[in-house]
Structure 1
Amino acid sequence: MYSNVGPTAFRGASQGGFLVTCLVPLVPTNGTWLVSGAMEYYPKSSATEIAQAAVQLAASQPELVFRNPEKIEQGWQRMREDRVAFVELCGADELILSPSAAENPLNSYYRHRQQTITAAHPGHARGRRLPRLDFPAFELPHELADSDTIGVIYDEIDGMNFYADYGMLRDLFADPNLAGRRTHQDLLRTYLREESIAPLPIHRLAAAHPETTDTVFRKLLRQPGFTWSEHGEELLRRRKPWYYAQEPRPGVSVIGERLAELAAGGRQRKSTRAQRVSRQPGHP
């Protein structure tokens, strides 16, 4: 890393501290960077604070992590492992629960994953307490608390997501006579309209109820000639262009061990094992 004003740009910084700045690559030389813009220095004693901020950034803005192609593949691999564990623990990749019953099984899942990771790498946790191991990893978002039911789907591509009143939506597809009810129509319209809801739940229900899906959408859209096989994908692409405009990304951001150690208040280790950061699942 270089500065166009020379070494004086780094005056006051000491080894083990942290610099927050923008770096631009110097091409065609690989691995050579130039400081651009303002630069802030934080001492070594700020390691935990800096690392925790970096972990939060990785979770809230995963596109920054996924600028590294290796992190994309690592994220897919970790998410596949997590999904297998979810299915083994919960019995399926799709659950419908009441709000009061949702937190316990999900916390059991997160605790199980943490314990599995700890058991696989006992030396990694020796001498320090793993953060959040004994505390709830999942708290129900307040906007879902008033739902009659909550759908939890851990998909291979879309990851884990939560859906409000998913039980009512499932009942609609199972019994198309409910399509005449205003509450059921409004719920399906919400699933089609909201940008926070991917096509996944509608795809799932259409696949599970092929004999009734056409009737449901014909009544909702008032289009007697609508068929899911012919018009369903076009409908979703029209209603949710944002989903199809972006490349799928894993729902898990993978960070290096040094960052994980610093965020937990530990010291740097030389191992290169990766840690996972599960991002807050999406929900309507």
Structure 2
Amino acid sequence: MNYEVVIIGGSYAGLSAALPLARARRQILIIDAGQRRNRFAEYSHNFLTQDGQAPNTIAEEAREQVKKYSTVSWLCETVTDVKAVDGQYVVFAGEQQFQAEKIIIATGIKDELPQVEGLTERWGKSIYHCPYCDGYELNMGEIGVLASGMHSLHQALMLPDWGNTTLFLNDAIKTEQLDDELLAKLSKRQIVIETRQVARIENHCDVVFVDEERTTLDGLFVSTVTRLQANWIRNLGLDIDSNEYGEAIKTSPAKETNIKGIYACGDVTRSGGSVALSVGDGAMTGIVAHKSFIF
């Protein structure tokens, strides 16, 4: 089957990209595997008009609004490959394949958590990554940062605006890496530095050390390492930015990749993300993709 645009990923960025294209009556297909990045979170915050709403409710409402447009098709499936053929693109999903003039990649990313027992099952419930999304609800209580690298210092320095903050080095940051300048910054923000190794997380958010002592927190923040969802993204020859924060597709400000006809938006293009940023990214991408048919 032939489409003008195939959007790979039907979460906030992908749906937002679809909307201007649908309103321009372009024939589009959205392929979504149902693996929203924030599917583990109970509530979504810091998104105007939807503050405190359940993430799945926001996504479902957006999906129903987009699917009302007659030129929009939807497929619940995982994309396994994308190939350039005769100036267009062939998208493989399940047992089917689709041809498109343009591709929008909005697959999101995978979060790699530190290997600490109890983190994964509490992710999005008492373990967080974005203070703007979840910090306010901790009510200036006891909060922590579990270091996953030197980049965690940035997160730690932000967090005292949301509560009494402890930085758990957990061997991801060595004490000798904390020079006088860094120590002065942490001290100015009244951040407690904990050097003991973390063994596991229990109950709501009890940090248990290897010596079996524990400290009880209202919430714990972790900087994850973000990874691309699929190898076909790399195989396309897209420029990929890789650093200590993870991986992201490089785009222009207009969300164009280095390959003509392929755009990318949302968390797959940035080291940090949120629903609001993904929606803005998607809106820009959909408009730019539409204009590329004309100009």
Q: TM-score range by the shorter chain?
A: under 0.3
More strand by proportion, 1 or 2?
2
Q: Report the TM-score when normalising by structure 1.
A: 0.28
TM-score, normalization by structure 2: 0.27
Which one has the largest radius of gyration? 1
